[in-house]
Chains A and B, each alone.
Chain A
Amino acid sequence: MTGPRPRAAIAGIYEYPHRNNPSCGPLAIKAMSAVRALEDAGLTLADVDALYDAGEAAAHPGLEIAEYLGLDPDVLGTTDVGGSSFELFAADACRAIAAGEAKVALLTYGETPRSGRMVIPPMAGTGRGEPSSADNIEAPFGLNIVANYALVAARHAHEYGTTPEQLAEIAVTTRAHAQRNPMAIQGLTDIGIKNTGELSVADVLNSRMIADPLHMLDCCLVTDGGGAVVIVAEDLAGSLPKPPVWILGTGMAVSYQGADRDITVSAAARSGPRAFARAGVTPADIDVAMLYDSFTITTLVLLEDLGFCAKGEGGSYAEGGRLLFDRPGGPALNTDGGGLSSNHPGMRGLFLLIEAARQLRGESTAQVANARLAVAHGNGVLLGTRHVGGTVILGRERP
């Protein structure tokens, strides 16, 4: 499955800073972010020839933001697989660039569930579009999103003895990273979180139980947010204002229910090895791990499936601060504060690419010394029933 390496690099990034701002809608967030990410890359709207946008349930994904920004893309991608859409877009952009069909790819994202007072639908996956056989058999039982992930956590605990304390370590680590990120702390304040300081394991365990064994502080935030990423062809990468961040390898996989499926194993167990093989690196080489953290269990499973530790050992692996940005013995995890403590509008995958790029440029607020390699892994839709995993390996040095 290894082909010629796609020579493409992240050249521009921008994260929309506000977490609760009723004066800015999703398209405005996308548009402002696009302009600033292009500025970051030393480019303009006129340079964009490939556009990737998941639409976030818009009537016409991609087309809306193209019109809003006056873009004329030769390539348009609008795959919506939830939080991993942007990891798939990065792979698509690499392919379009490798095929010579594009030079400058723009990825846009913006959602406002916080200021829009949009309630995250309690019945995930239902009520939209035509009914399906799968929806119909699941809808009568509620499809509570937290419960879906809790099923994985409960089975993981049953098979491997993973404890609530070990899950809490993920939330503690990411909050420690958020402490260093002024955007994250301002955001926590702006959405009304009272304790914006460090968390202890006890804080997590004492927070309200939502669906056993997941507590409130095992769950991601609900914030406004958005941003943009610019990916360029190799021949443009030499003349950028900022150091290029090379896309070394990508992989994706889907996962769904079946009678014999082990729900403690996610699509990352297949997308990860594909991406690592294409990049020619191993998990042990990785300095920074930007792993989807919709819930603590998501990240714990991804650490295992991507090969940072063996299946079942994620709990002990997360203990003792191993994943903090300034500790040896493991990659730095979600150094911007993650979805648990920085922002989670609904599809966090774009922010995984943005923070990985910051780290490899040396611009993170929790900067890993001499960071050379990062992985961004998005897990989209629902961990327990069906999801899409997208892995992107990024490097500071030209492949």
Chain B
Amino acid sequence: MTTRPLPRQPEPDSAPFWAATTRHELRYQQCRRCRRVVFFTRAVCPQCGSDDLELKLSQGAGTIYSFTVVRRDGQPFFRERTPYVYALVDLDEGFRVASEIVTPDVSRVAISDRVQLSWEDHDEVSIPLFELAD
């Protein structure tokens, strides 16, 4: 069994994000000065340039912005996983993530479907995945 590619650490910008995943917390940033929502985690607000960014907790509920069913993949882990659903999810807090929609039936997935966060645990981190909401 091959394993999922995991984030490469140490990497200072994303370290707080990945530390939070071990507690099953999906974190994003919000600028304390201009209130801009920021994702992926970084040192400087891309709207106003402030370096005062607050790490906030997402409730993990979102909507599928776009997705594809991957049928062929050259990477061993994902080749075994095909067909799998790769998607862009818009979280209700106002940020977008790329992730995987875990489902027993890939034909059920549609754009605008509501999804809910789920977690896949590894030794040092947990990976945020999504499932179709009921």
**Which residues of A approach B to under 8 Å, CB–CB?**
119-120, 122-123, 126, 130-142, 144, 146-147, 150-155, 158, 208-214, 257-259, 261, 263, 384-385
Contact = CB atoms under 8 A, between A and B. Distances in A.
Nearest to A209: B71
A153 B86 CA distance: 13
Given A140-B7, A147-B70, A211-B69, 17 more contacts: A132-B11, A136-B11, A137-B97, A142-B70, A142-B73, A142-B86, A142-B100, A144-B70, A144-B74, A147-B86, A151-B66, A151-B86, A151-B88, A210-B70, A259-B39, A259-B90, A385-B98
A158 B88 contact: no
Nearest to A154: B66
B40 A134 contact: yes
Nearest 8 A-B pairs (CB), nearest first? A136-B7, A131-B8, A133-B13, A150-B68, A122-B74, A122-B75, A155-B66, A133-B14
Given A136-B18, A150-B68, A259 B96 contact: yes
16 contacts: A130-B11, A131-B14, A133-B11, A133-B17, A134-B40, A136-B40, A142-B75, A142-B78, A142-B84, A144-B78, A151-B87, A152-B66, A158-B66, A211-B86, A212-B69, A258-B96
Nearest to A130: B11
Nearest to B67: A154
B4 interface: yes
A182 B84 CA distance: 40
A210 B5 contact: no
B99 interface: yes
B: interface residue count bin: 35 or more
Interface in B40-74: 40-42, 65-74
A136 B14 CA distance: 7
Contacts of A140: 4-7, 127
A151 B40 contact: no
Which of B18, B72, B112 has the most C-beta atoms of chain A within 10 angstroms of its own C-beta? B72
B5 A133 contact: no
Interface of B: 4-9, 11, 13-14, 17-18, 37, 39-42, 65-75, 77-78, 84, 86-88, 90, 94-100, 111-112, 127
A126 B75 CA distance: 13
Contacts of A208: 71-72
A257 B74 contact: no
Contacts of B42: 133
Contact of A263 (B7, B69, B88): B88
Given A133-B17, A141-B99, A257-B96, A123 B11 contact: no
A368 B108 CA distance: 47
Nearest to B10: A131
Contact of A132 (B13, B37, B67): B13
A154 B70 CA distance: 12
B99 A211 contact: no
Contacts of A139: 5-8
Contacts of A152: 66
Given A133-B41, A259-B39, A151 B5 contact: no
B31 to A, nearest CB: 13
A122 B78 contact: yes
Nearest to A145: B74
Nearest to A210: B72
Which of A131, A213, A385 has the most C-beta atoms of chain B within 10 angstroms of its own C-beta? A131
A225 B68 CA distance: 30
Which of A122, A140, A213, A261 has the most C-beta atoms of chain B within 10 angstroms of its own C-beta? A140
B132 to A, nearest CB: 16
A213 B66 CA distance: 12
A259 B94 contact: yes
Contacts of B97: 137
B5 to A, nearest CB: 5
A120 B67 CA distance: 22
A133 B40 contact: yes
Given A139-B6, A147-B68, A211-B86, A259 B11 contact: no
B68 A259 contact: no
B68 A137 contact: no
Contacts of B96: 257-259, 261
A257 B65 CA distance: 12
B62 to A, nearest CB: 11
Contacts of A258: 96
A141 B100 contact: yes
Contact of A138 (B11, B70, B77, B98): B98
Contacts of B127: 140
Contact of A211 (B14, B39, B70, B111): B70
Given A141-B100, A211-B86, A385-B98, A151 B8 contact: no
Nearest to A121: B74
